[in-house]
Chains A and B, each alone.
Chain A
């Protein structure tokens, strides 16, 4: 679901700041606007303020400054239980003294639904997460994945328009996590719910979201759809954080429109696409994705830039080969190549020449 200005914002953060201790800002000047039905993920390292943002939206923390709007209404003064926001907690927070059905019944009871209506809704919610047979169990009698589903069902059973999830899959093993990622996105899209999803796992963010907000240091570093985030990172933090990335440091030598020359610290001069450099003489980090580097000289595309490299390590990973090189003094330069019949397997110590297109090479902030 694309983000167009014409769509009315459903959730809005306007210049929101948050400090717990009056000394440090945990959230600094947050601006965010989400249309109805969007699946937005907050991605960032631990401690970057994601949970804090979620808690402010849910009403468990108050913004130190700024305004949060839900469907156009400021919600700063609405207590959490009146916001009607569904929430899935990291440890699920299923009430241990209640059965699964009682857990699901809880939000319906406080909303004064009748018995038959409650039962119908509970059944529908449990079926939705394929847990129809587990209504009588206690949370402690369920596996982690099952608890996860129940937590999801409980957050959805009262049909909220907005659902918040704080690292809901953090405790699951890889396979289960991938399965649940799929289920959650499917449910969110089928039900047309607006979702704010928090995670520190970038694959999760990329595979699930309509848009991803990359958090660091209390700020949104970039807010974009997954493909754009990966292919067009706007700063070196995002480039580093999303996917694997090679950086070469240097100084901007010339800058003109969508072209610039960078003199690397090793002395070589390369062409790059200026993304986050302001003037000649600025220090910069040049970012190249490992899969955009070509090691086979014969396949180099016209206009490609070449550099000398020494093979340090070759790792066989099944579907791909991962080769570590020394390039322009950088020992951690990684190249990924597809495992194809004609693909060469490089032995450590070999001197080779590698190349890439200047358009794949982004000059970012230092």
Chain B
């Protein structure tokens, strides 16, 4: 239950970090440590080098410009929780962050760390998925922006190359007046969700849904959109009947089975939580 020995590096600039990533074999990036350190303690991972990026000021902070919310990889979850920018422009993320771990882990955990770890039930990747987030990657060969769908390759597997690191994420925000909801079920507060649903919706004056996004976490290998249910929503009236139909479509997912819940339970839960999330999102539209 102690990390195996490694060599510690604490670059102060991105170029320094990129240089280390390019030259060191078997290196891991350390940000808040709330996922990596448990894995080190268990010795699930035994890197030869740890690159602590906490000192790189360029990858920390929250900005909003022209409809894009940009969050640096090293931004702590606590900063997101208390950010007025996030609360104003991205209520879905604000609601989600309150369900990320516990205060003690949010105080240190970062958004970049959560995206890099990509736990199937993690809240922040689910938000990035539902909102078409763009992940910013960097390395000595240059930078690139990867859409969440191309970024999340599978169970805890990302598109990050060994010589790259996440520098941040951009979230295109929805129009003021949209409604959103983040609903999850876990057996205890702060536990990983058995199923989580993120929903966003815009409706017009006649209560017709003009835009909708729906994504599920905890039930599949990684956070995923629910396109069949989204198709049911767009153009339909925002009412219980529509939400029930969309929920029904969500029960068709190929849910995983584990010690926490059988697949049938997750499917049923996906339907129920979808209905609840859609109802809440609709009520929050203005």
- Do the two chains bind? no
Binding site for B on A (CB under 8 A): none
Binding site for A on B (CB under 8 A): none
